[in-house]
Amino acid sequence: MSRSSHLPRIGRRGLLLGLTALAAAGGSRLAVADTRAPAAAGAGDRRLVVILLRGAMDGMHALVPYADPNYATLRGGIALPAPGQEGGVLDLGGRFGLHPALPTFHRLYGEGGLLPIHAIAGAYRTRSHFDAQDLMEGGGLERLDSGWLNRALAPLEAPGRASRAGLVLGLDLPLLMRGPERVGMWTPPRTARPEPDLYARIAEMLHDDPVIGPNVIDGLQGRGYAAEALATGAPLQMEGGFMRLAAAGGRMLAQANGPRVAALEIGGWDTHNAQTERMTPVLTQLDRGMAALRAQLGEAWAQTAVLCITEFGRTAAVNGNGGTDHGTGGAAFLAGGAVAGGRVLADWPGLTRDALFENRDLRPTRDLRAIAKGLLRDHLRLHPDAVAAAFPDSGAVAPETGLLRA
Amino acid sequence: MDTPPLVAAIRFGNGRRLGEPLPDDALAWLDAQTVGAGPPLPWPEGYDTPPTLAVGFAIWMAQEANPPKPGEQSPVNLLFSAEQLAWAGHQLRSDEPFRDRLTSFWLNHFTVSLLSGLGPRVGVGPMLRDAIRPHVGGRFGDMLNAVSHSAAMIYYLDQDASVGPNSTLGKHGRRGMNENLAREILELHTLSPAGGYTQADVTEMARLMTGWGVQRKREPFDVVFTPTSHEPGEKTVLGRRFPEGGEAYAAALSMLATHPATQRHLATKLVRHFVADNPPPAAVAKIEGVLRDTGSDLGAAARALVRLPEAWAPPLTKLRSPQDYVLAIHRAVGGTDAGQFKRGTIILGQQMWNAAQPNGWPDTAAGWSGPEPMMQRIDVAYDFAARSARNDPMLVLESALGPLARAETRSAVQRSGSRRDALTLLFASREMQRR
């Protein structure tokens, strides 16, 4: 497989190191809130996991609208083959398909435990990562100091409980889980290291410094990111942070007195170039993380809903570097034994020029808040006032119905 | 934003603190930090007043009476750790960073290390507060005299074990002479080998210094001169004769402090630290001249340093040492967690007051670069970026680097998919690694 022509930004040095070949997503964090509710409370043993896909996942690359007549043209070199062809997408009923690096997701779909959602976006229309992430996690129309998932914890708390009201795994508490409800933190014992993709960007940025540059190149090689690794097809490093955190989160959520709400995040989605090469390892991490989460949850999987969301989608058309730029509408995934899946939830706007948002992005036809509100109401069984507190100024956005098995 | 004040904060300070106001007049701002003793330094938590040597000795004695159980932090180490955190905490918050840089420079010039027993551990705080800090804008002779009479240095270089062979105690077979401190005073603190002293000078200096030691178990719980261990007779150092007695030590130090070889040595080190790994000879000559004309006035030297054209252009050439680097990234986001700072310096191999040898930490890029050290910097940057991820990376970039940020750095930060990645790239950039 030739990569050299797709990698203007990682650059020659990163390529020499084989960094792109190892660009598995590492930098992952997990936040777990302890919402051990008394037996009488509505939520009972239901678990909610939110996975933040930080960096803007290209929805059309993960959840591929392969049957849309404009898809192949718009996507050019990064279009994925139809189901049944070599490297083709995993079919979801004739219109959409999953990226082939998502076999666990596909299996879940077959069991009715995956609900892919398309053409979805938050309430905002910014294309700034940081603004959009803050708004997605805050849940309001303006920036808020607390996150919607933290505010949703309040009704789940039992009064008088000796509360260490939660747990965060990772080095920083995402805004999603910040707020008035106490959330503890747990950091993996070994200091996390940057994912190879970030190493590559750092090496590229520093390459012309006469002292730092060569030392970083040698240092990366010393740590095994060697040119030979690319040549010999060394296996991708898949014991990355995300799978480890997902497994740990699953273990804790499975406990009878364990937490009931958790948040994880996985980066590496900002694929402005070489998207074909860069998406595969990240999607693989996500897929294996989901498998680990499910395996560790065991029987509790039946009471679990896992929501994967990203700050926005990416441009409908491929750019000049085999990548995509910041866009608007994208994809989300809802998985879990409690989910009424086995179908794709999408009011597909189409990809004709007129159908695109501002002539460039997939037009959003569904609001992320509707999905989240539906989960808070129907899965965690929160009172309407509590749902409103989680998502202020969202009265016009009705909670999505039918997300969960009866 | 004007560049010179920012360059001043980076080159002569410890990096700009997030949102810290920049001075209108960079030179006036720097000059003011070279005058007087400066405000008192904060001291370790849990003490009403700065812990004196006597307090440290009391803790040491109590520890000897009640040794800590295995796995328990010893009281002396707790005091030492608190001293580290106090000095780190000050530098994180400081608005007199040039005074701090000068203080750190002289602390390194007069290295003491926790590696050599409990003495330096209880002595380093008082040495910082009483022997170094008050003199960074004063005369080198005063600093040299104060440091050479400090318990931390006397313990560190074994002066407490030095007994004149013909002294009363010596004649009773009580140990012998130890020339460790005498040698390092000549080699490291003053003349340097270029000063042309001989082994005879070292021996004479050591004889002259006998009697100076520490009385830690009884009054006055301080550095004392004990005539019964002082080597009798006259001594000759660098051809100058010194009479018998305790005062000869200060007199010899005074001579060394204004010796031309000392002035050249200090000028070279100062220019290497603030200007370039290979000190430009003209700049060294300039500072050397100032020291000569002022009787080794360190304030005058500092004010001359900031007026060297070489110190301002081109900016950001010196590789920051690990301590300076970790300090700079903390200040860039307004961080005040001294414990986090300390952990970063330990990972990067430069824990405060832990240098391997009396010549202190390296002051060149070559001393700190290498593949794994550079990778560890990136790991520290990545770790600290996660802890700082509530900051807007572009705001941090504008505050810390402003117009000094290269287009490549700016674009790498802007194009990142997360705050953590963006801050990692900013912290790892050459502009943040250099000053």
pLDDT for A12 equals 42
Q: Which residues have C-beta within 8 Å of that of residue A140, sequence separation ≥ 6?
A: A391, A392, A393
- pLDDT (tens, 9 = 90+) of chain B, 435 residues, equals 456 899 999 999 999 999 899 999 999 999 999 998 889 999 999 999 999 999 999 999 999 999 998 888 899 999 999 999 999 999 999 999 999 999 999 999 999 998 788 999 999 999 999 999 999 999 999 999 999 999 999 999 989 989 999 999 999 877 788 889 999 999 999 999 899 999 999 999 999 999 999 999 999 999 999 999 999 999 999 999 999 999 999 999 999 999 999 999 999 999 999 999 999 999 999 999 999 999 999 999 999 999 999 888 766 889 999 999 999 999 999 999 999 999 999 989 899 999 888 889 999 998 898 777 888 899 999 999 999 999 999 999 999 999 999 999 999 999 998 999 999 999 999 999 999
Task: Specify the residue for token string 């392969």.
Answer: A66
Mutate to test the interface with A, among B337, B384, B418, B419 (most CBs of A within 10 A): B418
Nearest Cα of chain B lies from the Cα of A153 at a distance, in angstroms, of 22
Which CATH architecture best describes the domain A30-199+236-390? 3-Layer(aba) Sandwich (3.40)
Name the residue among A25, A26, A24, A16 with its Cα closest to residue A229. A16
DSSP letters spanning A27-89: -EEEEEE-----TTSSSTT-EEEEEEETT---HHHHEE-TTSTTHHHHHGGGPPPPTTSTTPP
Chain centroid offset of residue B405 CA: 29
Nearest Cα of chain B lies from the Cα of A110 at a distance, in angstroms, of 32
What number of C-beta contacts closer than 8 Å exist between A and B?
105
Low-confidence ranges of chain A (pLDDT < 50): 1-29, 34-42, 160-166, 189, 226-239
Name the residue among A198, A197, A169 with its Cα closest to residue A183. A169
Q: Would you call B417 and A55 a contact, using CB atoms and an 8 Å cutoff?
A: yes
Enumerate the H helices of B306-418 as residue ranges. Answer: 322-332, 338-347, 365-368, 371-387, 393-400, 407-414
Cis check: omega of the bond before A155, within 30 degrees of 0: no
pLDDT for B30 equals 97
**A269 interfacial to chain B (CB closer than 8 Å):** yes
pLDDT for A149 equals 93
pLDDT for B312 equals 86
**A189 interfacial to chain B (CB closer than 8 Å):** no
Q: Would you call A27 and B418 a contact, using CB atoms and an 8 Å cutoff?
A: yes
Q: What is the Cα–Cα distance from A372 to A382, expressed in whole angstroms?
A: 12
Burial B219-251 (b: 16+ CB within 10 A, else e): eebbbebbeebbbeeebebbeeebebebebbeb
Query: If you count DSSP H runs as helices and E runs as strands, how many of each does chain B have, helices first?
Result: 23, 4
Name the residue among A402, A401, A273 with its Cα closest to residue A340. A402
Q: Which residues of A touch B374 (CB under 8 A)?
A: 212, 215-216, 219
Q: Would you call B428 and A202 a contact, using CB atoms and an 8 Å cutoff?
A: yes
Task: Specify the residue for token string 């305790």.
Answer: B246
Three-state helix/strand/coil letters over A208-225: CCCCHHHHHHHHHHHCCC
Name the residue among B76, B162, B145 with its Cα closest to residue B110. B145
pLDDT for A240 equals 60
Nearest Cα of chain A lies from the Cα of B388 at a distance, in angstroms, of 8
Nearest Cα of chain B lies from the Cα of A370 at a distance, in angstroms, of 25
**A198 interfacial to chain B (CB closer than 8 Å):** yes
Query: What SS3 state is found at B338?
Result: helix
Structure ipTM: 0.84
Q: Is the Cβ–Cβ distance between A25 and A289 less than 8 Å?
A: no
pLDDT for A389 equals 95
Q: Is the Cβ–Cβ distance between A147 and A179 less than 8 Å?
A: yes
Q: Is the Cβ–Cβ distance between B89 and B100 less than 8 Å?
A: no
Q: Which residues have C-beta within 8 Å of that of residue A29, sequence separation ≥ 6?
A: A168, A169, A170, A171, A172, A174, A241, A245, A264, A265, B386
Chain B interface residues (partner A, CB cutoff 8 A): 319, 347, 365, 369-375, 378-379, 382-383, 386-387, 389-390, 392-393, 408-409, 412, 415-422, 424-425, 428-430, 433
Burial B330-359 (b: 16+ CB within 10 A, else e): bbbbbbebbebbbbbbebbebbbbebeebe
Mutate to test the interface with B, among A212, A221, A264 (most CBs of B within 10 A): A212
